[in-house]
């Protein structure tokens, strides 16, 4: 049943704009519009060296990802899910920052060795991922299993931005009783109460009020559905922020909103992991 729901969600994303092949998928079009003229700037996300933090590539079963390990005993594990650009410098740096806060952070590589430097490449990579629903599912399940097994952590959460935000929610829907927390940064949402009903973990959603790709109406529908179901949910909307406002390597970065979102994220994870 979970696999059917997952496949249905991705198929809907491909068909929203019309019959397959007749028009561009609506979600891809929205993301292309939001990232028009954007490009990841190598090194822009890098901060000062974090003492004691180890980072390396590891095999988590479905692929190889970037693992950032804290200096001491991990307080929990995080599945870190990249934007539509892929597993790049920004995502590796975010993983290190989570490790500095005590989390064993495993950044999955859904594009399996590829990453984009400009929007057309990112769109093509995202399109290929969406055409193979089971591919992302394999990565997300495998990352969860690796953190619980090889990583040796009890509590595991998910976090992602943009495409990764949508897939952070998808991880929760794949593992509705196993996942301990989910953080969604401006990711596409599911608003059907029947699909959201199995979720057992607390959810933090962070969005920009000026984001045309993730309409505020859908954010409010998502929040209302979860609250009606009695779920634990916190939704934060930065009214003046746009899509990808938390990415320091992009051209829509808003430092103040990003800093506040980071604070809220750490508070949420600290409470639930």
Catalytic residues: 162, 211, 243
In eight-state DSSP terms, residue 191 is -
User: Which residue carries 């595991």 as its tokens?
Assistant: 156
Report the alpha-carbon distance of residue 100 to residue 102 in Å, rounded: 5
Element (DSSP H or E) covering residue 3: helix 2-15
| Contact between 172 and 199 (Cβ < 8 Å) | yes
Q: Three-state SS for 48?
A: coil
> Which CA distances in Å does 85 have to 116, 117, 231?
5, 7, 31
8 A C-beta contact, residue 168 and residue 187: yes
């Amino acid at each position: 049943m979970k696999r059917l729901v997952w496949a249905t969600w991705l198929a809907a994303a491909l068909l929203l704009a019309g019959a397959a092949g007749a028009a561009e998928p609506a979600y891809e079009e929205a993301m292309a519009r939001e990232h028009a003229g954007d490009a990841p700037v190598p090194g822009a996300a890098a901060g000062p060296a974090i003492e004691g933090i180890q980072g390396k590539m590891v095999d988590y079963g479905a692929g190889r990802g970037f693992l950032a390990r804290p200096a001491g005993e991990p307080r929990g594990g995080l599945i870190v899910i990249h934007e539509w650009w892929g597993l790049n410098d920004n995502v590796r740096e975010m993983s290190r920052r989570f490790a500095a806060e005590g989390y064993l952070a495993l950044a999955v590589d859904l594009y399996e060795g590829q990453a984009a430097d400009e929007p057309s490449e990112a769109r093509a990579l995202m399109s290929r991922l969406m055409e193979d629903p089971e591919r992302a599912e394999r990565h997300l399940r495998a990352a969860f299993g690796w953190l619980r097994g090889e990583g040796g952590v009890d509590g595991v959460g998910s976090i992602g931005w943009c495409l990764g935000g949508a897939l952070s929610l998808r991880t929760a829907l794949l593992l509705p009783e196993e996942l301990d927390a989910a953080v969604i940064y401006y990711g596409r949402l599911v608003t059907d109460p029947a699909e959201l009903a199995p979720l057992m973990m607390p959810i933090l959603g962070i969005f920009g009020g000026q984001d045309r790709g993730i309409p505020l109406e859908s954010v409010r529908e998502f929040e209302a559905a979860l609250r009606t179901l009695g779920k634990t949910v916190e939704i934060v909307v930065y009214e003046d922020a746009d899509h990808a406002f938390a990415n320091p390597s992009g051209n829509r970065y808003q430092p103040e909103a990003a800093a506040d979102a980071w604070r809220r994220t750490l508070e949420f994870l600290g409470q639930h992991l």
